[in-house]
Amino acid sequence: MTCKFRSRTVANMSAAAALIMAAGLAQSPAAAEARKPQSMKSQSVPAVQDSLSGPPVMAIVSIKHQRVSLYDAHGGALRASTSSGAREYETPVGIYSVLQKNRDHYSNLYDDAAMPFMQRITWSGIALHEGQLPGYPASHGCVRMPGTFAEQIFPLTKIGMRVIVARDNVAPVAISHSNLLKPAPISGAAFVTRTAFDASSTADQSPRPFVADLSQWPERQAEMDDYQRRVVAANTEVEQRKAPIAQLKEVVAAATKKQAAAAKSLRTAEKSKRIADERAASADRALAYAKDVARLKPWEAAKDKADAAVLTTTERHSKAIAAVAAATDKRARTRAERAERAAARAKQTAIAKASRADRDLAAAKLPARYQKQADATAKATATAATVAQRTTALLQAKQFADAALQTATQDLAKAEAALETAVAAATEARRKTLPVSLFISRNTQRLYVRQGHEPVVDVPVSIADPDKPIGTHVFTAVDYENGTNSLRWTAVSMAPRPGRDFSALSSKARKQMEAAAAEPFVTDAAIAASVLDRITIPPEILQRISASVWPGSSLIVSDEPLHKETNNATDFIVLISGEPQGGIKHRPKPPPAPARRYYDRDDWDDRPNDMIVYDRYGRRMRVIQKKPLFSWW
């Protein structure tokens, strides 16, 4: 028994090994497998694949059934199992579109985890990508897909493809309604030649977004080609207008520099002119003062005073001499002689002062003094005139520079206005080649229109019974019909159905639900049509955007407002309230991209034995380089 059991066990192990080897041989190419993490080299839940008969127009992810389905315009579908966000990191139920694609992407939020064949649906980090499928929600908010499936659909999907994350495994249904947009008519009857879908021809060679597939509609393709030619012509005009603008900017820069230099020179000259004028005025005042007769009065008064002092002292001296002669005794004579000597000294002082007053009056009256002041005045006046002439010349140069700068600025403004007009024309021409997206919110009672990830229209809209819930519904134009004069639309309603959450089921119940969910339930067209019956879209809006209604255009009707994730680089993003949104709410803020590579060395650092590196968040770290044990050798 033991030998039998052992031999049977060995046989089972050999068979298992053979199966493992066979499975390894049946996997994708070795090069692709070698670059995958160990956790991605085998998928516990295989993809359930059907087939596509055309390019996919939308992807629907079912959170409850952990399933993703890609649908084309002709009823084809491609399905696979998924693993969405785990508890507290649930993938938010809502409406998205593909914003970015990267074949080899690594997470900048969660330890540089590999995310092959990444297709981003929010800029905060939620995406569809290859990943491990344990059979239940296990990601941090992304939608993991089997490796072969993710690789297969990566070249098929395009930027802007609608991605719907729903609670249930729902499928689109064909619908027609008067509120659904119709394309502008083209002349002549459309000659339709339906061609087979070749997946190899849709390789992602050109990531240009939002381009409708018109290969089966020759006249619409001709119309699109005409629009594209207009876009090329408009872009060519834009490029042609850029070169003169660069030259005009150089002219304006040179004129600005010259005008600034002229203004500086003029300011310097004006300052010099003010100084010269002040000096000339001062010289004029000094000359006038020198020639003024009243100016001599102080000298004349001083001379008269000095002459009077001479007479007075002379008279006193004479009296003193007479007193000396009349003295009779020796004592009286001595006193008289002493008074005579004092009178003589006073007389001499008065005579000296009179002489000085005579000299001062003569100097004040001297003509040479007038001439010196007149020469200084003439020199100051000449300097002021020279500076005034230079200032006038610089003022004229400044005026010429101002005029040249004004002319150059006006030319540049005209060229920039023409460029702006050309850019607007090119933008408008490009917009006509892109499908439009409409969003009607019962919460805000408004209609929003976006085209090429840019807002175009934001107007009020009329909704019947505005207090009554309307749900969330996505209407997508998938292809032309009736000779290209009408569009074929599909509807997807996201109303939840009763049932337990997939993550709360047992493994047996999961398998049963997976088997039951192989064929998703189809949206009820009557319910979707009743939603459109409640809406009245302004006719002028319909007329305005009818020229841009290509396959790929969509209309979203929801009770919800626009989510904050909607910005100038996205299509409409609508999240369903009441559903878990941990995948966005608990998502860490993306760190700024490091300005340098991870292991860049800072040569300027003052510690050469240390290495300055940068972590995944761009923060500087110092790594101490330990010396080897025997470095002293």
pLDDT at 628 (0 to 100): 47
Which residues lie closer than 8 Å to 386 by C-beta, 6 or more apart?
A: 276
Which of 87-96, 101-110, 415-424 is predicted least confidently?
A: 101-110
More confident residue, 446 or 186: 446
Helix or strand run (H / E) with residue 621? strand 620-624
Comparing 44 with 513, which gets the higher pLDDT? 513
Asked if residues 62 and 171 have their Cβ atoms less than 8 Å apart, the reply is no
What letter would DSSP give residue 167? Answer: S
Query: Is the pLDDT at 32 greater than 60, yes or no?
Result: no
Collapse the DSSP code of 554 into the 3-class scheme (helix H, G, I; strand E, B; otherwise coil) and give the result: strand
Give the CATH class of 40-186+441-585.
mainly beta
pLDDT of residue 195: 42
Band the pLDDT of 18: cuts 50, 70, 90: very low
> Averaged over 278-302, what is the pLDDT?
82
The residue assigned the tokens 């300055």 is 612
Are 434 and 548 within 8 A, CB to CB?
Answer: yes
Q: What class, spelled out in words, does domain 227-429 have in CATH?
A: mainly alpha
> In this model, does residue 39 exceed pLDDT 80?
no
With bands split at pLDDT 50, 70 and 90, how would you rate the model's confidence at 145? very high
The predicted structure's pLDDT at residue 192? 44
**Closest C-alpha to 571, from 560, 563, 580:** 563
pLDDT at 320: 87
Burial class (CB in 10 A: 0-12, 13-18, 19+), 533: exposed
Residue at 613: amino acid letter: V
Count the residues in the chain.
Answer: 633
Instruction: Give the pLDDT score at 464.
Output: 93
- Residue 278: what pLDDT? 92
Determine the Cα–Cα distance for residues 167 and 66; give it in Å rounded to an integer: 9
Give the least confident one: 26-35, 370-379, 439-448, 534-543. 26-35
pLDDT at 516: 55
Statement: residue 70 has pLDDT above 50: yes
Q: Which residues of 207-232 are buried (b: 16+ CB within 10 A; e: fewer)?
A: eebbbbbbbbbebbeebbeebeebbe
Structure tokens at 216: 């089966």
Average pLDDT over residues 208-221: 73
Instruction: Give the pLDDT of residue 607.
Output: 44
d(C-alpha 396, C-alpha 266), whole Å: 9
Local confidence band at 520 (pLDDT 50, 70, 90 cut-offs)? confident
pLDDT at 190 over 90: no
Q: What is the dihedral of CA 461, 465, 467, 473, to 10 degrees?
A: -70
**Using a CB cutoff of 8 Å and minimum separation of 24, what contacts does 508-512 make?**
510/135, 510/136
How far apart are the C-alpha atoms of 131 and 146, rounded to whole Å? 6
pLDDT digits (tens, 9 = 90+) for 479-507: 888 767 788 999 999 865 444 554 555 66
Q: Which helix (H) or strand (E) holds 527?
A: helix 525-533
Percentage of the chain lying above the pLDDT 90 cut: 35
Max avg pLDDT among 364-368, 375-379, 449-453, 458-462: 458-462
73 near 509, Cβ under 8 Å?
Answer: no
Rg (CA), the chain: 50
pLDDT for 111 equals: 67
Mean pLDDT for 545-554 is 84
Tell me the mean pLDDT in the region 504-524. 65
CA 488, chain centre distance (Å): 39
Tell me the pLDDT of the chain averaged across its residues. 78
In sequence order, what are the beta bridge partners of 535?
A: 463
Q: Pick the residue with more confidence: 14 or 388?
A: 388
pTM of the entire structure?
Answer: 0.63
The percentage of the chain sitting over the pLDDT mark of 70, rounded to a whole number, equals 76
* CA 29 to chain CA centroid, nearest Å: 42
Q: Are 165 and 90 in contact (CB under 8 A)?
A: no
User: E strands, 73-193, where?
Assistant: 77-81, 94-97, 100-106, 114-120, 127-130, 143-145, 162-166, 170-171, 173-175
* Spatial separation of the C-alpha atoms in residues 366 and 459, rounded to whole Å: 96
Same fold, 40-186+441-585 and 227-429: no
pLDDT for 531 beyond 60: yes
Q: Tell whether the model's pLDDT for residue 69 goes beyond 70.
A: yes
- Compute the CA torsion angle 273, 275, 276, 280 (nearest 10 deg): 130
DSSP 376-440: HHHHHHHHHHHHHHHHHHHHHHHHHHHHHHHHHHHHHHHHHHHHHHHHHHHHHHHHTTS-EEEEE
Interhelix angle 218-291/367-431, rounded to 10 degrees, is: 170
Per-residue pLDDT at 42 exceeds 50: no
Mean pLDDT of 552-575: 90
Asked which of 118-127, 528-537, 582-591, 601-610 is least confident by mean pLDDT, the reply is 601-610
Could you read off the pLDDT of 574-624 as tens digits, one per residue? 999 888 888 787 665 544 444 443 333 344 344 444 444 444 444 555 544
Burial class (CB in 10 A: 0-12, 13-18, 19+), 30: exposed
In the chain the first and final C-alpha atoms are separated, in Å, by 67
Average pLDDT of span 553-570: 90
Closest CA to 513 of 204, 169, 272, 152: 169
The phi and psi torsions of 36 (rounded to 5 degrees) equal: -85, 150
What is the pLDDT, as a whole number, of residue 459? 92
Average pLDDT over residues 133-141: 90
Find the range with the poorest average confidence among 57-66, 281-290, 399-408: 281-290
Angle subtended by helix axes 330-364 and 297-326, to nearest 10: 160
Among the residue ranges 139-148, 324-333, 512-521, the one predicted with the least confidence is 512-521
Quick check: 163 pLDDT over 90?
A: yes
Report the pLDDT averaged over residues 413-428. 90
- The closest of 139, 32, 125 to 89, measured between CA atoms, is 139
Residue 159 has pLDDT above 80, yes or no: yes
Domain ranges for the chain, please list them. Answer: 2-28, 40-186+441-585, 227-429, 591-633
Using 50, 70 and 90 to split pLDDT, how confident is the model at 627? very low
What is the distance between the alpha carbons of residues 231 and 603, in angstroms, rounded to a whole number? 50
Give the residue from 145, 161, 147 showing the smallest Cα distance to 101. Answer: 161
Measure the CA–CA gap between 352 and 267, rounded to whole angstroms: 57
DSSP per-residue codes, 211-245: ----TT-HHHHHHHHHHHHHHHHHHHHHHHHHHHH
